[in-house]
């Protein structure tokens, strides 16, 4: 294909726009500005040099230099998750693009709006195994909501506009735009965002009245109802969480949440039962098992939530609202499927609840249900025993509880990211989230190494907020290079490591499923995290016993710059409660003393 | 769950899709990535401006999985519409085959006679060979090919199925 012929085909600029000829790179930046982009997380390289040159010659959009392309995507995810805007990534061709794959898939599974721009070799070189060439659209096709390889200069502006529309609308997700170098150097026409709808992509956001009415009719007749809410509520914006709180208040129904939905209900609300699923609370899982009407809002019946499928919430009337029609009836057959944006679904449920006749159910029925739930609550499934002697070993649950209490005492707006593993579950269980968009974690993909770059993204988006990466020592080493980014931009991120010298969740499963053969799960040859922090121009702190914990947390919170806090916790602690693999919600393990055999089929499951 | 006890049925999935590079790869990548099988596949531009293509995929799956295939394909960005046609949805499904038979003498005469009965047209002939063109339902093509086997069947090229709903209903 001859690029010169495309360039001579260029249409004249639209009336009213700048008459000077823009390069493709300048058109790209102009479109980004029009799309409201303020920050790009990226890493330069040969194929994107023209774009970096254009970035150098403007100051409307800020560029944050990460230390690895995967981290750029995680930072953009956290930026998006914590602001509701689209996160933007810029990387070079070949290895730059392939390094983003984990991040893109992470954003795909957690429905995070991200647009990733990757450089590509010039159009004439595509397909020749040129230096740093990769079939980026081929590689990222199953890891993105949509992707583009732009081949003509006149496609740059329309495709970039469209990429943002696709990333943020419907069920949000990552979109990749592959930009051949010659198109960025040569002239390209600018165009504004199109006003006509996309020809084929038209997500349904407005739910049907009739299905809402059927759902509310079932809710009105419920004796043991339960809301089961997920990340879709967070994606639908803070208004959706506000509407949910109102709906829970009006109906008086109990509410549980998935990992991704934490913060949509205040953790301390009396109607909130905590997280459900594999490491959910006893009351949340027993209520899921025992409810007669289950109302799933923006959640997707993930296997971490359902446990054994044929025993999941048996006998309940199931209502499932999701913006993605393919989620309905995917795992669990439901009685009423509602396609629509979570905020609109909840708002319409509220309207319908108010205007339909009085309940057919007696108040006494709900009282019995709440009585049952409060009995389950007495199990105190998140309970633990902490020896308060100053020299005692610190238990990880206690660490999170103290962190939460001391953070709350500061009164600061706080964003928490995590890595993946036991510390992530303990954070979900013990750090109470009261507001949406404050909890940044890798749920669907379970990406170790997510938390540190995510903290970078959150701190860039909220420079005055308190940003804490609750980490494990193994996960955090997967993207530890981002301490350099943190140093460069003087980000006051707090890396709070629960250091048990094991890949704790792997070790826990080996203990439970493989007779304690701890194959390769010991974190040997760990760095000295205090010195590591210092070498990256930060403050390093360590607590080795209960007596040191509060002081270290207080010092960390008081320090104006970046801190790595190495909290040496009990090595053999397991994350409970737990639904073992292949078990049902009413077969939870509450603690180490309960020695139930895990079935052979259970061992086959992840 | 009742869905696990459903038995698989054969279906044609017809997909109207934007005629852009990568659109076919998105669809078939979805099938392989989610473990759906493809028994045959056809694709060609079908509108006057060649902006839209129609993909026909023959698969065998339970009604629950067919519903999932439809929903998963429908959410692909360049997809306009999806139809799932099983035995319950009246539709016409046709396939074309080119069948090369190398034979002489009596077997050659037999092949020609059977071809006539099947309305297969010889589109190429040499002293020792025929190429038959045959259009119809897939089982008719199967039957013809089976009959040619002892008569010198040498090579088969089939298009896969093109399908369309009966009556005034459109995709």
Give B77's contacts in chain A (Cβ within 8 Å).
Answer: 145-146, 166, 198, 200-201
* A210-214, A367-371, A451-455, B18-22: least confident range: B18-22
Closest CA to A321 of A243, A434, A249, A403: A243
- With contacts defined as CB-CB under 8 Å, which chain A residues touch B71? 325-326, 328, 330
Strands (E), A201-301: 225-229, 255-257, 272-275, 293-297
- Three-state SS at A441: coil
A317 beta partners: A293
Domain of residue B9, CATH code: 3.30.70.260
CB pairs under 8 A between A and B: 48
- Domain presence at residue B168: no
| pLDDT tens-place string over residues B114-126 | 999 999 999 999 9
CB A308 within 8 A of CB A582: yes
Reply yes or no on whether the pLDDT at A461 is more than 60.
yes
Taking the CA atoms of A13, A16, A20 and A26 in sequence, report the sign of the dihedral they define: negative
Q: Decide if B169 is inside a domain.
A: no
Name the domain boundary from B89, B112, B132.
Answer: B89
The correct answer on CATH 3.40.50.10240 for the domain covering A209-377 is no
Q: What is the mean pLDDT of residues A336-355?
A: 97
Active site residue A301: no
CATH assignment at residue B128? 3.30.70.1150
Contact B1 A309 (CB under 8 A): yes
- Residue A155 CA to chain centroid, in angstroms? 31
B4 CB-near residues (< 8 Å, 6+ apart): none
pLDDT confidence tier of residue A362, bands split at 50, 70 and 90: low
Is A11 designated active site? no
| CA–CA distance, A79 with A86 (Å, rounded to integer) | 8
Give yes or no: A588 in active site.
Answer: no
CA distance A467 to A224: 39
8 Å CB contact between A495 and A452: yes
The answer to whether B35 faces chain A, any CB pair under 8 Å, is: no
Identify all chain A residues contacting B25, using CB atoms and an 8 Å cutoff. 138, 141
Domain's final residue, options B31, B65, B89: B89
pLDDT bin (cut points 50, 70, 90) of residue A3 is very low
Q: Are residues B20 and B32 located together in one domain of the fold?
A: yes
Give the residue from chain B lying closest to A332, CA to CA: B1
* Tokens, residue A437: 């968009």
Query: Does B18 share its domain with B71?
Result: yes
Give the tens place of pLDDT for each residue, A98-114: 999 999 999 999 999 99
Are residues B22 and B77 located together in one domain of the fold? Answer: yes
Answer yes or no: do B126 and B63 share one domain. Answer: no
Q: Which of A132, A488, A501, A587 is catalytic?
A: A132
Task: Check whether A19 has a pLDDT greater than 60.
Answer: no
A132 given a catalytic annotation: yes
Asked if A300 and A171 count as a contact pair (C-beta separation under 8 A), the reply is: no
Which of B56, B89, B122 is where one domain is finished? Answer: B89
Is it the case that residue A8 has pLDDT exceeding 50?
Answer: no
Contact between chains at A200 and B29 (C-beta distance less than 8 A): no
- Domain residue ranges of chain A, discontinuous segments joined by +: 3-185, 209-377, 396-568
Asked whether A371 and A232 are in contact (CB, 8 A), the reply is no
Judge: B64–A141 Cβ closer than 8 Å, yes or no.
Answer: no
CATH 3.40.50.970 at A396-568, yes or no: yes
Q: Which helix (H) or strand (E) holds B83?
A: strand B79-85
Is the same domain home to B37 and B54? Answer: yes
Is B138 a member of any domain? yes
In whole angstroms, what is the distance from residue A228 CA to residue A283 CA? 13
**A325 chain-B contacts, CB cut-off 8 A:** 71, 74-75
**Do residues B7 and B68 share a domain?**
yes
**Catalytic entry in A184, A286, A366, A505:** A505
A209-377 matches A3-185 in CATH topology? yes
What is the extent of the structural domain holding B158?
A: 92-163
Q: CATH 3.40.50.970: does it fit domain A3-185?
A: yes
- Residue A12 is predicted with a pLDDT of 41
Is residue A181 flagged as an active site residue? yes
Q: Which of A136, A142, A158, A200 to mutate to test the interface with B (most CBs of B within 10 A)?
A: A200
Do both B71 and B97 map to the same domain?
no
Q: What is the domain count for chain B?
A: 2
Q: Under an 8 A CB cutoff, do A326 and B33 touch?
A: no
């Amino acid at each position: 294909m001859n690029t010169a012929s495309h360039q001579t085909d260029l249409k004249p600029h639209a009336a009213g726009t700048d008459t000077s000829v823009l390069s493709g790179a300048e058109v790209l930046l102009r479109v980004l500005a029009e799309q409201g982009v303020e920050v790009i997380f990226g890493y330069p390289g040969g194929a994107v040099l023209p774009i970096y040159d254009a970035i150098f010659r403007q100051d409307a959009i800020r560029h944050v230099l990460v230390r690895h392309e995967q981290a750029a995507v995680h930072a953009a995810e956290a930026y998006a998750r914590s602001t509701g805007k689209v996160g933007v990534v810029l990387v070079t061709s070949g290895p730059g693009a392939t390094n983003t794959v984990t991040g893109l898939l992470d954003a795909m599974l957690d429905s995070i709006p991200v647009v990733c721009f990757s450089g590509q070799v010039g159009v004439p070189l595509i397909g020749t195994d040129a230096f740093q060439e990769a079939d980026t659209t081929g590689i990222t096709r199953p890891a993105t909501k949509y992707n583009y390889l732009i081949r003509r200069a006149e496609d740059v502006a329309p495709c970039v506009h469209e990429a943002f529309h696709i990333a943020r609308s419907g069920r949000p997700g990552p979109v990749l735009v592959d930009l051949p170098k010659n198109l960025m150097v040569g002239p390209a026409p600018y165009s504004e965002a199109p006003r006509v709808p996309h020809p084929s992509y038209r997500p349904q956001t407005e739910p049907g009245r009739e299905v809402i009415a059927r759902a509310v009719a079932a809710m009105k007749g419920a004796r043991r109802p339960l809301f089961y809410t997920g990340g879709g509520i967070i994606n639908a914006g803070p208004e959706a969480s506000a509407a949910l709180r109102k709906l829970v208040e009006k109906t008086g129904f109990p509410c549980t949440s998935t990992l991704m939905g934490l913060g949509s209900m205040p953790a301390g609300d009396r109607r909130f039962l905590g997280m459900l699923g594999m490491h959910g609370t006893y009351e949340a899982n027993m209520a899921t098992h025992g409810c007669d009407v289950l109302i799933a809002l923006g959640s997707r019946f993930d296997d971490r939530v359902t446990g054994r499928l044929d025993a999941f919430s048996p006998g309940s009337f199931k209502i499932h609202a999701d913006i993605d029609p393919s989620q309905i009836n995917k795992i669990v057959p439901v009685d009423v499927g509602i396609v629509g944006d979570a905020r609109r679904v909840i708002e319409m449920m509220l309207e319908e609840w108010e205007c339909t006749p009085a309940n057919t159910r007696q108040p006494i029925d709900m009282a019995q249900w709440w009585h049952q739930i409060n009995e389950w609550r007495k199990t105190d499934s998140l309970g633990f025993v902490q020896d308060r002697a100053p020299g005692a070993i610190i238990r990880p649950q206690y660490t999170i509880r103290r962190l939460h209490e001391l953070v709350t005492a500061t009164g600061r707006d706080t964003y928490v990211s995590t890595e993946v593993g036991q510390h992530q579950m303990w954070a979900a269980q013990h750090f109470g989230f009261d507001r949406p968009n404050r909890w940044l974690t890798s749920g669907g993909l379970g990406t170790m190494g997510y938390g540190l770059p995510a903290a970078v993204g959150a701190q860039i988006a909220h420079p005055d907020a308190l940003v804490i990466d609750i980490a494990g020592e193994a996960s955090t080493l997967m993207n530890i290079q981002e301490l350099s980014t943190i140093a460069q931009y003087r980000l006051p991120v707090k890396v709070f490591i629960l250091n048990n010298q094991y890949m704790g969740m792997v070790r826990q499963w080996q203990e439970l499923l493989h007779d304690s053969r701890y194959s390769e799960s010991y974190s040997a040859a760990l760095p000295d995290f205090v010195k590591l922090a210092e070498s990256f121009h930060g403050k390093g702190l360590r607590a080795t016993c209960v007596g040191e914990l509060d002081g270290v947390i207080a010092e960390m919170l008081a320090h104006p710059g970046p801190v790595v806090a190495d909290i040496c916790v009990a090595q053999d602690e397991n994350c409970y409660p737990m639904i073992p693999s292949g078990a049902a919600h009413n077969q939870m393990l509450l603690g180490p003393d309960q020695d139930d055999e895990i079935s052979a089929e259970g061992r086959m499951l992840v | 769950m009742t869905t696990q006890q459903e038995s698989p049925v054969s279906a044609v999935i017809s997909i109207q899709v934007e005629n852009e590079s990568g659109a076919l790869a998105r669809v078939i990548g979805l099938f392989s990535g989610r473990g759906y099988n493809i028994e045959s596949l056809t694709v060609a531009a079908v509108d006057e401006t060649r902006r839209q293509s129609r993909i026909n995929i023959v698969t065998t799956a339970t009604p629950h999985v067919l519903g999932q295939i439809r929903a998963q394909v429908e959410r692909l960005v360049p997809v306009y519409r999806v139809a799932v046609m099983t035995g319950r949805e009246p539709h016409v499904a046709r396939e074309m085959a080119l069948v090369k038979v190398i034979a002489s003498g009596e077997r050659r005469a037999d092949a020609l006679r059977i071809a006539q009965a099947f309305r297969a047209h010889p589109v190429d002939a040499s002293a020792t060979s025929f190429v038959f063109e045959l259009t119809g339902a897939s089982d008719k093509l199967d039957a013809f090919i089976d009959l040619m086997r002892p008569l010198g069947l040498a090579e088969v090229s089939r298009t896969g199925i093109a399908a369309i709903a009966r009556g005034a209903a459109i995709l």
